[in-house]
Structure 1
Amino acid sequence: MRRSPLLDRPDAAANPAGDLDAAVPARYEDPLREQNALSSGRAATALARDVVAVTGPDRLSWLNTLSSQELTRLTPGDGGAEALLLDAQGRITHALACVDDGEVLWLVTEAGRGAALAEFLESMRFMLRVEVAEREDVAVLAALGEGAVALEEAGRAAGAHLATWRDPWPGVVEGGTSYDVDVEGTHPGAGYRATWVLVRADAAGEVAQAFLAGTDQADGAASGGAGAAPGVPGRSLAGSLAWEALRVEAGRPRWGREADARTIPHELDWLRTAVHLHKGCYPGQETVARTLNLGRPPRRLTVLQLDGFTGQLPVPGAGVYLGERVVGTVTSVVRHVDYGPMALALLRRGVPADAPLTVEVTEADAADANAEEVGTAAAGAAGAEPIAVSRVDAAQELLVSPEGRAQASPAERPGAGLRGLPLRRDR
């Protein structure tokens, strides 16, 4: 993606070079306050995402044969759908936010993945009536809750609105299922209502200004500083640090953070929103069905509440320990305004839910903890071998059950009733 024009704002602070979110602002002032503004629907943010456009009359039926989701039912204004592209072994290669406007199927993917996605789709086009193009002239802005309406209105006011995608997480969409069997309590993302608005990249700054200058229909007050009614906070912009903190709180997986070269959708509970279990064939479908019906995912995503008293934080890639045994890897690390240090981690499925865990902190991580802000990207000198200096305590908040079964999994393994029966030979 191209560098966001919001980085040119005088109050914008950049993410570190090489960070997944380097193309968008990390923060404007205080990322903790920005989290509150996002949560209340009074802030918008720029997301580091690539966009690919697919046109032509066969676009929906064609991508439907390649992806994990049923896409033929997409219609303009329906909020779109989420889909995954898998390899033959069922491992996730691309995660897509899909929205169709009647002429263009917009595919939003991870930052830096647009070219690879377009190249793959082009190789699968064959003789079908579709055209594929990476669109660096499109930017993605986002808001939570009621902020989505204001952001859409701002896009239209600036004449830059292209499409709107409504994140289905953490609901279970038609044809999906969840891996929360025996997980007690409400899902941590129950209140997470995210909306992505696609706009012309050259007008992203105008859209942001229109959002800031708009009228809040909830209280009728003009937002933004002097125009706000006394005691009523106005609209603001938020950086990637604030957005990521709320994403982690919601247990929402992100391909560029949580997926590695061997991740299958079940491990991240992505069958909730991105997989249709009853659609036609697609690459990787056999692994999806087999794991659901016959096996258990080898790993599971969990939220970790980290001990913040030491002032030390790990970074993605840090090992998670049960005693002296490594049982997982941290994928995202944030500071939450209410809950303090938090992380997402991929653990071995069988790690007990109440097990006392620790997370490794390296020398570079400890230095970062004393910096002004701690983001979600690993730091330290390039090529330097990290040196473990300590560990921080971590407690799990379950997303995927250690039981390893989905709500749609059969009660017992198919064919289990045949075990132990004598073989019959017909003469």
Structure 2
Amino acid sequence: MKANYDVVVIGGGPGGSSAAALTAAAGHSTLLIERESMPRFHIGESLMPEVYWPLSRLGVIDRMDELGFQKKLSVQFVTNNGKESSPFYFRQHDPRESSSTWQVERSRFDQMLFERAAELGADCYDQTRLLDVEIDDNDCATGVRVRDAQGEEHRISCRVVVDATGLQSFIANKLGLKEINPDLKKAAIWGYWKDARRDDGENEGATIIMQTQNKDSWFWFIPLSNGITSIGCVGNNDYMLKQGLKPEAKYEHELSICPGLQDRLKGAEFQGEIRVAKEFSYTTTRHAGQGWVLIGDAFGFIDPIYSSGVYFALETGVRAADAINEGFAKQDLSGAQLAKWADDFKDGSSWIRKLVHAYYTNEFSFGRFMKAHPQHSGNLTDLLIGRIFHDQAGAIFDDMDAAIEADKRAAMSMREG
């Protein structure tokens, strides 16, 4: 580990590794550090189809198949009474190769990206803890302090710091830039099952989103390789964690009131331990300054429901790397330069945020809406794919917003009547 780099990237997840890979490939001395020992466990296993493009930029598409990850060709929804939607097959909307994606074990996936960054020239160190990012009175990042695997502390100067620290969001917390979304304070309880029943054929690897009977929570069903399925429950933080039940008991209770899971778990065997995470949705009020930039979950976090997290991490990592490389060429490492991509990214990702809010509106039915507005099926599939960075990405919401308000009024009338 040298004492000086052009770029220091903090966090060895998809965002950090992609940013480090592309700045190193452009010839800039790059340090990538990860707090945990690689490979390490991480949640966020279901990939949107649009990950194809940043993974292609990184040159790892062939490796995805070589590693034997479960192919994902569709997504499906199950209502609170167990009614299953027809699968949304991505290729029916877009027959290109990018319509096929993957369900991944993040330990292997993240390790592959970490190693790719090293192949392209980054100095990559795991078991290295960030102690501080040094930001002067002029909002300029000048370096970092870290503790390595041997316990030795280092002060490293650099010209750019890329914060890819995930939900820790180190710089945003240091500078007071985080804004929590009060309507999306969620918690997740999940675990892994062996031999849970999957659908046949092309829907075998589908992500399935299942509501519980009372609609106070929902389950993800993510088929992984080797017969293992990730099954997790998400609901409001108070509902999931503050009702006097231990997480194990709460998980069992929510399983018992999820009709879509009953048949799928017959004969299945729970593996390992119950895991818990608080997943508060937030944004950041600024995304870069002189010599620093936020990416991935450090930039902002929406919700796990549509599996956008890994795609957003990769996309912001690639975009930030391009802006950094251009900034070195122009000798401009200002916040405006390093975050020149951020407004476009926020515009696109806002449509996913609106779709999340629609799902959490209990009075609203996606099935009923699509029957009334079949012309929006392609637009909805675009959102589920992650194809959101174009002018018509939000075209569905004029009709959807009106339908949500109508459903709310109808529900209120029924309660009052």
| Larger relative contact order (Cα-Cα within 8 Å, sequence gap ≥ 6) | 2
Length-normalised TM-score, structure 2 = 0.28
Length-normalised TM-score, structure 1 = 0.27
